[in-house]
Amino acid sequence: MGVTRLPIALLACLLLGLAAALPTGAATPEPRVAAGVTLAGVPVAGLSRAELLERIDARIARPLARRLTVRVADKRVSVLPRDAGVAVKPDLLAARALAARPNTAIPVVPTLRASAAPDLVQRTADAAWHAPVNSRVIYRIRYLRATRSRPGRKLVQRGRLQARIVAALLSPTGTRELRAVTGEVRPEINARRLRQITGAIVTVSRSERRARLFSHFKLVRKYRVAVGQGGYPTPRGLFAVKLKQVNPSWSVPNSGWAGELAGQTIPGGDSRNPIVSRWIGFTGAVGFHGTNDLSSLGSSASHGCIRMAPWAVRHLYRRVRIGTPVFVR
């Protein structure tokens, strides 16, 4: 009996069908993160690499990029993390998560420029600073007063604030607004201290033709004086003693009112010298001096200076010094 030969076309179909029926190799599954794995506390179990990158961006990178603000008193100072050098590497984090064993908590430690936190602390300190206000003298003719001192403000707990700033910048889940702590700065000079350190002060009333000597804000003595006449008024304002002289010479102004003495220098002790025994200069050619014309006291009789009885100017001379305030009104 002869061998039955199958047609070539039929044989080819059988071979193809047999090949299709044979088992093939299984496709390689996509790597996924093991169970229980977290990144900076963010659950990432079961995620693929692409899904990991999306979660890292949404839950870590973008939260880390939010502006950090520090509130101090009624002001705010802030920094953008990118300006502080804060950054993470998503590809590296994804690789670590995919390679991690089950239930691994992977910390995320972003980069941070070393000077970022100290710089923000200093800016906060500058914003917090409010200088204290010392008491000062209020000048009046018949009395003196002291203004009230006011405390200032400064940043305190700088080290603690810097640590909080670092922690906040490096945490994707932490708060982005901190509050700084401030403390009071006491003034160096309050009203009581001002009275203690304030020595002599002289006031002059042009209308009363009277000078007053104060010490530590208390009235010590009143003096009857003569002040400048109409064409030569005693200047108004707050001045300070600039020159003190015993038996000074007198440089006579080269003016018509000086008569034959104009332009001359009259030595101290000379009977023609109207300054008599003392000179207390406080502005230009104007000052306190003695006079032998006691009848002029209580009037506007001088050429700008303040005339006093000889005993009075000696009394005042002993109690003032260079820099003593002189208030004329």
Cα 164–Cα 169–Cα 174 angle in degrees, nearest 5: 75
Q: Using an 8 Å Cβ cutoff, are 263 and 252 in contact?
A: yes
Can you give the pLDDT at residue 137? 98
> What does the domain layout of the chain look like in residue ranges?
38-131+153-185, 199-328
Q: List helix spans (H) across 22-157.
A: 49-56, 62-64, 90-99, 116-128
Backbone angles phi, psi at 246, to 5 degrees: -100, 130
CATH topology of domain 199-328: L,D-transpeptidase catalytic domain-like (2.40.440)
Q: What is the largest CA-CA distance in the chain?
A: 177
Give the pLDDT score at 284. 83
Residues 6 or more apart in contact with residue 266 via CB below 8 angstroms: 249, 250, 252, 272, 273
In this structure, how many other beta carbons lie within 10 angstroms of the beta carbon of residue 280?
Answer: 23
Quick one: which H or E segment has residue 317?
helix 310-319
Kindly report, residue by residue over 114-159, the tens digit of the pLDDT: 999 999 999 999 999 999 999 999 999 999 999 999 999 999 999 9
Q: Check residue 267 and give its pLDDT.
A: 72
Kind and range of the H or E run holding 279? strand 278-283
Helix (H) or strand (E) holding 77: strand 75-79
Per the CB < 8 A criterion, the answer to whether 259 and 169 are in contact is no
Say if residue 33 is exposed, middle or buried (CB neighbours under 10 Å; 0-12, 13-18, 19+). buried
d(CA 251, CA 243): 15
Closest CA to 83 of 61, 65, 108: 65
| Predicted local confidence at residue 2, as pLDDT | 46
Please tell me the predicted confidence (pLDDT) of residue 275.
82
Q: What is the distance between the alpha carbons of residues 29 and 264, in angstroms, rounded to a whole number?
A: 117
Reading the chain (329 residues) residue by residue, the pLDDT tens digits are 444 454 555 545 544 554 455 455 557 889 999 999 999 999 999 999 999 999 999 999 999 999 999 999 999 999 999 999 999 999 999 999 999 999 999 999 999 999 999 999 999 999 999 999 999 999 999 999 999 999 999 999 999 999 999 999 999 988 999 999 999 999 999 999 999 999 999 999 999 999 999 999 999 999 999 999 988 999 999 999 999 999 887 776 667 666 666 667 777 677 777 788 899 999 988 999 999 899 999 999 998 999 999 999 999 999 999 999 999 99
Q: Are strands 144-146 and 137-139 parallel, antiparallel or unpaired?
A: antiparallel
Residue 274, pLDDT score: 77
